[in-house]
Amino acid sequence: RRFDVIYSNDVMAHLVEPAATLSLLATLLDPDGLILLGGSLANNPSLVYAIAVGVRAANRMRPGRTELPERPPTMLHHTNRDALLGFFERRLGWRTIDFDVYETGWPYRVPSGVVAPSVRGVCRQGLGLAAVAASRALPSLRLGNRFLGAFTPDVPVPAAG
């Protein structure tokens, strides 16, 4: 069976072998099919990322803080815009149809009505909204913690048989 479109969101960073998995998915496409991928850009310039680094550093210096136990990673790959495009285009040989980097403000910005009625909740929402506004106001900087891309893989189509 072949598909016109394959869509995957928030999966790639968790794959042990992303190149092998994505290459296999590409073989399931019709010759003119599209692969749509979305996910996180953990190492891309982002106001949210900068805030998170600052908060973690401040928490580490807090008196009486105890260390959290080591946990296995859930995200196996942390990347940025340029490295990810290089992976798709050079490593996999895919053609990029569209690629967008954007800021969600998460985990600071949350849906309306979910904000905790506290100073901390309002501050978190404000930080998230500021991150989204900064990424929209300065598009040339490519600020953002998320991506969405459309690709056409150049893969040989297996002979019908």
Cβ contacts of residue 58 below 8 Å, gap of 6+?
none
φ and ψ at residue 29, rounded to 5 degrees: -85, 150
Of 23-27, 79-83, 103-107, 114-118, give the lowest mean pLDDT range.
Answer: 114-118
- Amino acid at position 112, single letter: S
pLDDT of residue 73: 63
pLDDT of residue 7: 95
User: At which residue do the structure tokens 């999966």 appear?
Assistant: 11
Which has more pLDDT, 114 or 58?
58
pLDDT of residue 25: 94
Instruction: Report the mean per-residue pLDDT for the chain.
Output: 80
pLDDT of residue 8: 94
What percentage of the chain exceeds 70 in pLDDT? 75
pLDDT of residue 135: 74
pLDDT at 85 over 80: yes
pLDDT digits (tens, 9 = 90+) for 28-45: 999 889 999 999 888 878
pLDDT-derived band of residue 9, with 50, 70 and 90 as boundaries?
A: very high
| Angle subtended at Cα 94 by Cα 92 and Cα 96, rounded to the nearest 5 degrees | 135
